[in-house]
Structure formats: structure tokens, C-alpha cells
Amino acid sequence: MKILLIGYGKMGQTIAALAAARGHEIAGIVDLHATQLSIGDFTPAQVDVAIEFTHPDSAFDNVMACLRQGIPVVCGSTGWLHHFEEAQQLAAEVGGSLFYASNYSVGVNLFFHFNEYLAAKMHQFGGYDVAVREIHHTQKIDQPSGTALTAAEAIIRHFPSKTTWRNAPAETPAELAVISERAGDVVGTHIVTYSSAVDRLELTHEAHSREGFAVGALLAAEWLPGRVGVFGMKELLDL
């Protein structure tokens, strides 16, 4: 498989190394600091799929450029989802392929799956308040993280007493607190805590390295070509 890497930071470099180990070819790299190439320099005849990990300010434009070029794109950048509907519309118009996940770790997506189940059960039995906490390295710009937002939105869907989230301690019972911390080189830790007068229950995912994210992105890139539409990890993992 021929892969176009869009972004060559820590994730891009990890993906490149793993792609080679899995027998894939990096057909090109588009990166503001590493190359002078643009997405428009590549066509579906040259690359099978693009993998995009960049910056919230550039991710949407990169995704749209791939769709217009007819290149299936796997996007892992967060912080641009206020434009997601536009990307969905373009994918439908051009018959394109877009795979998006806020987190490509298989473990994290199982965390998402159990988070939904747990929220529904905890609300059913009552007596608990819930909060989300996420910890990342100091270079992560967006907060809350996309993973924390995905978890928070699922809690709101399944725990009806929470109607909105707040990136700070909750000020009303209807608010879901989503606390963001930035420290050192922490890869990514997400904790959902249910507290009552008698006990506390926590669902935690702690990433030890970026390799898990890179493996998931490559799995998505291997799965996407030949499909038309907008997909995510639920489809890939059949959750």
C-alpha cells in the first residue's frame, strides 16, 4: 500500500516506521516544516490512502483537499470538528472516503464502548455524580482532548441528568466537568469517575506510547481504500 503522510511530527514519524515494518511504502510526505510538497501534488494513481495528523488549524483544509483529489483520507487531528459536517457533505458529493477518530488506539475505543455502557447503568441505579479528567503532554494544544470530548458526549447521551459539559469544575448539577491537565511528556490518560456517598468507580485508559495510536491509524488506512463514505473506529472494530 502506498501512503501519503500529511504531518511529520511525532505521530507521523511513528506511523512511517510502523508502515515500513508492515510492508507499506511512504509515497510522499506533506509537512510545513519538512517538505515543500502539497496535497495537490499527489493523485490516486500515486497513493492509495493519506494519513493526516497535523494541527487543528490545518486539519480541515487537509481533509477537504484529499477528498477533492480523490484520495481516501484517515484523519487523526482533533480540534476541527465544528467543520465535520462540511467534510461529510463533500465526501458525499464527490463519492469520497473519510475515516475519522479522535483516538486510534484499539484500547481507547474499547474504553469508549464500555464508557457508554457504564454511563447508562450508573444513571439507571442513581446516586452517582460523574466527571471526566484527561492528562496530556504540554505540547498538546487543544483542550479538552478529542478523546475526552468523545467520552463526555457519550456520557451526556446515556446519563440524562448531565445536559452539557464544561472544561472546568461543574458549577451546576447538570454540567459534566471535563478537567484538562498538561504535564511533561504524558502520552494520554483519560479517567471517567463515578462518585457517590458510599463508593467511587473509575474507568481509566492510560497510553504508554504513541505506537498504539499509530497501529490503529494504519489498520484504518489498510481498511479504508475501496470504501465510500465516512467511517470511524466502530465500523473498523465492529463495536
Active site members:
136, 140
Instruction: Give dist(CA 97, CA 112) in Å, integer.
Output: 23
By three-state DSSP, how is residue 56 classified?
helix
- β-strands 25-30, 2-6 pairing: parallel
Sign (positive or negative) of CA dihedral 165, 91, 71, 40: negative
Among 165, 166, 155, 147, which Cα is nearest to 128's?
155
- β-strands 129-136, 188-195 pairing: antiparallel
Q: Which three cell numbers stand for residue 160?
A: 440524562
Contact 115, 158 (CB under 8 A): no
Sign (positive or negative) of CA dihedral 100, 102, 103, 108: negative
Contact 70, 94 (CB under 8 A): yes
Instruction: Give dist(CA 99, CA 80) in Å, integer.
Output: 14
